Every structure is written in C-alpha cells, then in structure tokens.
C-alpha cells in the first residue's frame, strides 16, 4: 500500500515495525498531509536512515503536471495530471469570494455512460487510490501557493463506483491530524447509486450529497443516463431523503438543462412536484456541449424562466455560474483531447 493512502494508525504500524517510536508516524503524517511535501528529503526532523528506508520501500506517490490551462475570463485553472502508470486525470481550481475550490476526479474514465458527458466516452480504465485523489489537491496547493478550502468530487468518475477509496480519501482529507478540511465544505456528486448513497449516509460525515437528477421521469432519465435503468427515480429520491435524515445535510439536485430535451416549463413543473417538501437545493447547469453529441444549451431566457418557475413554487434553485468556458471546462474534455493527440 502506498504511504499517502495510509491512515495514521496504519502508518504507525509500519513505523513500529521498523523499530521506531510511534510519534515518528505522526511527524511523517503531518509532513505529508499538513505540509504537503513532495519528498522524504523535506522531512527535516525525521532521521536520515528512516527516510532512506521509506524512500526505498514506500516511494511517495507523485503526479506529473502535464498541462495547466488558465481561463482569461475568470482565472479558473484546469490541470491535467499524469499518474504513475501513464493514465491521466484532470482537476479544476476555482477562485471564489469564500475561498478556493477544487474539483477532482475519482476514477480514470467512467462506466456510467451519461449521454452528455465526455468522461465516459471511452469507459472506465481504473479506480483512483486515496493518494491519487489527495495529490490532485496537494499538487494544486503547491502550484498556486494558496490554501484550498472547498472540494467537489465532480470531475471524471462516479465516486460511488469507487466507494471505499473515496471514503478513505475523505477521512484523510478531513482528519484533524491531516489537512483538516471542513467536511461541510465538501460535495460528493453521484449519478444515483442507491446502495452507495445509503451507505454514505451511515458514515457520520457532514458532507453534502449532490444527486445528478437531470430528468423528472424514469423514461426521460433513461435516455440521458443509463444508470436510470438500474434504479428507479422513486428509490433514488428515497435514498436522498434517507441521507438527509441521517446527516441533517440538505441534498443538492443537479439538473443539466439540455435544449428541447428537459428544459420546458412542464419539466419545471414536474421537477417542482418531485422535490416538493424535500430539504434540498436545485442546481441548474446549462449543458456544456461536447462535440461527440449534438446536445445544445438552452436559451438564456429559457434557463431564467425555468429557475423562476421553481423559485415561485418554493423550490430553491440557482443556475450554476459557468467558469472556464474557454479552457475545455466540461468534464473529461481536456483529458480526452490529450489522449487523442498522443
Ligand atoms: N459521476 C458523478 C460526478 C461527475 S459529473 C455524477 O454523475 O454526479 C458532475 C456533474 O456534471 C453531474 O451532474 C454530471 O451529470 C454533470 N455533467 C457531466 N457532463 C456534463 C456536460 N457536458 N454538461 C453539463 N453537465 C454535465
């Protein structure tokens, strides 16, 4: 197992095996997660001999920053990282008034097959390890020199399809001995894997759950998201209610507006009826067109009308501000372009 994916307890075990005191494990853990160092060399209070042994037996996992694109519109940055096995993932860094936010990938590729999404076009390659998710954030912190206070797991991949690693990653990131990110500043987005939502509800985490809804009937949802063949809307929404009951956290519904598909006022009415009475927030996302599909964005007025309809019905809804439109903003586009160029 790689050392950056280890909990403090796991690290203590291997450090004790080396005949060292347990406090060394804590020191090393802090170097990795609080100071985000990229080499053992920088761990100046650790004996040289131990550093050499660890370097030999547990080389620190590193990402290779292949490309950084910066938006001239809003300063958003898109990072393309190379993994140790040659695969690539992308992450996004966004600057907001309330702090810096990073969007990370949880898998290399994705097998969920959502029709409008570029990340899934080539299927799933593999799951990311906790260290590979952490390192997307730590690399960006080193590169920008700024702290990251918010996280969304909305890049490539379905977090519930890599459940154990994602939860371990969340514990490492939010642990007091580590980076100590506030759980309330973290959002995990899922296409609606019911067992995953229910399990996550039991983890005693204060994170926000975002559900990719995108349609108001099973029939329509199936046209956009194959996962809807596996889980009916009814049970997905029940799982979301359960998540709220268990955690007290308001659920976010993501609804990507696609022109002529799910964006008329009848859809808005059905959506309002569907989520009525739930403690939730609707996030309207103007679909980001990908060239492999001919889905188009709704007109600005249509989007406004849709939002206003929901708000008038007492459903909190906002339109997601588009960021980084000039830099392959949509999930999976940058990675895809790079793979094609190789
Ligand atoms: N697999 C997870 C998280 C990844 S995508 C999920 O399905 O939720 C994060 C959000 O972006 C999801 O709501 C997804 O449906 C949406 N999305 C993906 N591609 C998009 C596109 N081209 N335009 C608009 N939204 C998109």
- Ligand 1 pocket, mutate which of 92, 111, 114 (most atoms under 8 A from CB): 114
> Is pLDDT of 339 > 80?
no
Å from CA of 72 to ligand 1 middle: 23
Helical pair 8-17 and 22-33, crossing angle rounded to 10 deg: 130
pLDDT of residue 7 exceeding 70? yes
The model's confidence at residue 341, banded by pLDDT at 50, 70 and 90, is: low
Q: What is the pTM of this model?
A: 0.96
Structural domain boundaries in the chain: 3-57, 81-341
The pLDDT-based confidence of 330 (bands split at 50, 70, 90) is: low
Closest C-alpha residue for ligand 1 atom 10: 154
Q: For position 331, what pLDDT does the model report?
A: 57
Cα separation, 62 vs 84, whole angstroms? 7
Query: Would 3-57 and 81-341 be classified into the same CATH topology?
Result: no
Clarify whether 90 is annotated catalytic. yes
- Rounded distance between C-alpha atoms, residue 173 and residue 168, angstroms: 9
* Catalytic annotation present for 114: no
Q: How far apart are CA 239 and CA 287, in angstroms?
A: 26
Distance CA(224)–CA(116), nearest Å, equals 7
Q: Helices in 175-232 by DSSP H: which ranges?
A: 194-201, 218-224
Binding-site residues, ligand 1, Cβ < 6 A: 112, 114, 116-117, 154, 158, 189-191, 212, 254, 256, 285, 287-288, 290, 330-331
CB-CB neighbours of 30 under 10 Å: 16
d(CA 206, CA 200): 10
CATH class in words for 3-57:
mainly alpha
pLDDT on residue 340: 67
Kindly state the tokens that stand for 200.
Answer: 């996550």
Please state the rounded mean pLDDT for residues 99-109: 97
Q: Is CATH 3.20.20.70 the classification given to domain 81-341? A: yes
Helix H or strand E segment including 123: none
The answer to whether 225 and 246 have CB atoms below 8 angstroms apart is no
Q: How far is CA 310 from the centre of its chain?
A: 26
The residue whose C-alpha atom lies closest to atom 20 belonging to ligand 1 is 117
- Identify the band that residue 183 occupies on the pLDDT scale cut at 50, 70 and 90: very high
* Residue 116: other Cβ atoms inside 10 A: 21
Question: Mean pLDDT score of the chain, rounded to an integer?
Answer: 95
The per-type count for the chain, helices as H runs and strands as E runs, is 11, 12
Share of the chain above pLDDT 70, in %: 97
The catalytically annotated residue of 12, 20, 90, 254 is 90
Which one of the listed residues 110, 117, 240, 331 is annotated catalytic?
Answer: 331
Cα separations (Å) of 259 from 121, 128, 283, 312? 21, 34, 16, 22
Most ligand 1 atoms within 8 A of CB, residue of 123, 331, 335 to mutate: 331
Q: Whose CA is nearest to atom 4 of ligand 1?
A: 154
- Residue 322 scores a pLDDT above 90: no
């Amino acid at each position: 197992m790689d050392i950056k994916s280890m909990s403090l307890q796991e690290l203590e075990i291997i450090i004790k095996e080396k005949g060292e005191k347990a406090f060394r494990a804590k020191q090393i853990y802090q170097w990795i997660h609080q100071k985000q160092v990229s080499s053992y060399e920088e761990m100046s209070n650790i004996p040289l001999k131990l550093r050499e042994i660890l370097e030999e037996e547990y080389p620190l996992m590193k990402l290779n920053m292949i490309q950084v694109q910066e938006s001239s519109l809003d300063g958003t940055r898109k990072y393309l990282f190379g993994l140790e096995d040659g695969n690539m993932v992308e992450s996004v860094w966004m600057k907001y008034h309330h702090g810096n936010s990073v969007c990370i990938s949880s898998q290399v590729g994705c097998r969920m097959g959502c029709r409008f999404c570029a990340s899934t076009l080539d299927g799933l390659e593999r799951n990311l390890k906790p260290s590979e998710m952490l390192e997307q954030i730590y690399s960006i912190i080193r590169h920008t020199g700024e702290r990251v206070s918010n996280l969304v797991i909305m890049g490539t991949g379905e977090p519930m399809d890599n459940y154990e690693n994602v939860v371990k990653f969340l514990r490492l990131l939010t642990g007091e001995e580590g980076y100590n990110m506030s759980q309330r500043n973290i959002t995990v987005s899922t296409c609606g894997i019911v067992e995953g939502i229910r399990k996550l509800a039991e983890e005693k985490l204060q994170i926000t759950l975002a559900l990719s809804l995108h349609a108001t009937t099973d029939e329509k949802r199936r046209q956009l998201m194959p996962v809807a063949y596996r889980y009916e809307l009814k049970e997905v929404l029940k799982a979301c209610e359960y998540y709220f009951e268990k955690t007290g956290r308001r659920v976010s519904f993501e609804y990507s507006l696609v022109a002529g598909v799910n964006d008329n006022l009848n859809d808005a009415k059905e959506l309002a009826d569907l989520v009525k009475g739930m403690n939730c927030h609707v996030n309207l996302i103007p679909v980001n067109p990908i060239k492999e599909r001919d889905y188009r964005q709704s007109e600005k007025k249509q989007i406004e009308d849709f939002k206003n309809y929901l708000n008038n019905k007492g459903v909190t809804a906002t339109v997601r501000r588009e960021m980084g439109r000039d830099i392959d903003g949509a999930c999976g586009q940058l990675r895809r372009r790079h793979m094609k160029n190789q």
